[in-house]
Structure 1
Amino acid sequence: MAELILFNKPFQVLSQFTDERTAAGQKPRATLADWIRIRDVYPAGRLDYDSEGLLLLTSDGALQHRIASPALKMPKTYWVQVEGAITPYAIAELCAGVALKDGRTRPAKARRMEEPELWPRVPPVRHRDTVPTSWLELIITEGRNRQVRRMTAAVGFPTLRLIRYRIGDWSLDGLEPGGCRKIFVNLPAAAQPGKRQAKARPTTTPRRRPRS
């Protein structure tokens, strides 16, 4: 079994344990080290500085690969507040795949949703009386840089607040901002007996040894 940490990343926290600005003498930003005291775990995937929600961490290389590898297409569910009253046409565009500068996205699952009950964001999302906002649930199987924000902007509805609610079978349920929970995960049979598992590293994706 592999150890997995579920963490509800607050707004404006880096998805890493150090900030390169510190070495450059600049004002440091909040990092995972300010919240997580568990040693030798690293993020399986990323979550933008200005996004909130579920971040998974582990010390197990096989589990990290299973979660973060684009080839395995693990679904990620986001709750997205956008500027404007989103239209059925825009929802259909998101579902079909959106043309971005780095290529068309895979088809997604998207639906309009009621505003969820959430913790207040600090600082709060800007509010304008003359401009409505909408919430949608968006499920994607990719992890391009700032992908959700670029997708909603491409269909005409800029993202105001972005929360990752679920990755695969794991969700934010029961986690307050800054809270974490440790669980143990059974790896697929192919990743268990007789297989040497590489230790996770913060900047590289471990490779499995070919069978001899």
Structure 2
Amino acid sequence: MTGPVVRLTDVRREYAVGDTTTVALDGVSLSIEPGEFVAIVGPSGSGKSTLMNLVGCLDRPTAGTVEVAGEDVGRLGDDALTRLRGDAIGFVFQQFQLLPQTSALDNVAAPLLYRGERVKTARAKAAEVLAALGLGDRLEHDRTMLSGGQQQRVAIARAVVTEPALVLADEPTGALDSRSGAAVLELLESMNAEGRTIVLITHDASIAERAHRRVAIRDGRLLEAKVAA
């Protein structure tokens, strides 16, 4: 694609609870180009989750504009937003969120089936991606038969099988031991080296240092954007 994968312009997000209004993001502007590996880092309550929900097309801004893959999120209806989310974004979550009592193969094939691909084609693509991530011998294993690191690799395979413009990883190492976490970060780095755009959400500055650009957020405002040396 041409132009930024993600562009936020003067974004504000407010939440009303009774008579109280909370400002979660205030005047945030950010652009992420194709092929970048960007870490968004900040403590709990900084606005990371709100920013992730906006970039992930799970929410809309109160003011300002959020564009993902060239689409203005705030102007899309629910169906169009769902399609954009399914086509343009691959999600990797801290808790894996694999389907229970479902094989690794069928977990990865699920987003392809959801958008209408034939079962045989979807399963073939899923098997190819899992094999590329070192899980070719675990296709029929469900989550109870996989280690935490293997479950996260299945989740990453599911995120990339649709060839999205953006992979959004929310604390992807948070539920893993240090060895498995390091392996997942290396996998994200290798995917980025192949040209995938990665946005990593984390509270851990040492993990954020693995990215090429680090964006700090606190109290709903971006503080700085550092480029790795």
TM-score (norm 1): 0.24
Larger helix fraction of residues: 2
